[in-house]
């Protein structure tokens, strides 16, 4: 019977994902992030500025959308009430209530 339970850590899986060369992807470890860490942090800060700008634009757009939705709801609600009253008048007239 085949089992889908493997011992932890599984040497078959861990050897496939780890080639043993840590410095290739993460620098030599002398300063915690490689020689280009300052450039990468500056790039991240730039991206965060763009994200913040985009989020601010979304917040503004959502605020405008809420105002428009509130106005549309009032118009729709007024039309619904008018229609209900009109139908009630037609039904009352049909039953000779007035």
Q: What is the pTM of this model?
A: 0.42
3-state secondary structure of 16: helix
- In the structure encoding, which two tokens stand for residue 72, read together? 């549309």
What is the Cα–Cα distance from 14 to 37, expressed in whole angstroms?
28
Write out the chain's pLDDT in tens, 98 residues: 567 776 777 666 655 555 555 555 555 555 566 678 999 999 999 999 999 999 999 999 998 888 888 888 889 999 999 999 999 999 999 999 88
């Amino acid at each position: 019977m085949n089992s889908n339970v493997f011992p932890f850590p599984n040497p078959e899986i861990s050897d496939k994902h780890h080639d043993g060369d840590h410095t290739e992807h993460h620098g030599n470890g002398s300063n915690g992030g490689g020689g280009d860490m300052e450039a990468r942090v500056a790039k991240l800060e730039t991206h965060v500025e763009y994200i913040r700008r985009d989020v601010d634009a979304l917040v503004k757009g959502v605020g405008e959308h809420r105002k428009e939705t509130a106005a549309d709801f009032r118009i729709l609600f007024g039309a619904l009430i008018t229609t209900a009253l009109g139908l009630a008048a037609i039904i009352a007239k049909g039953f000779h209530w007035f």
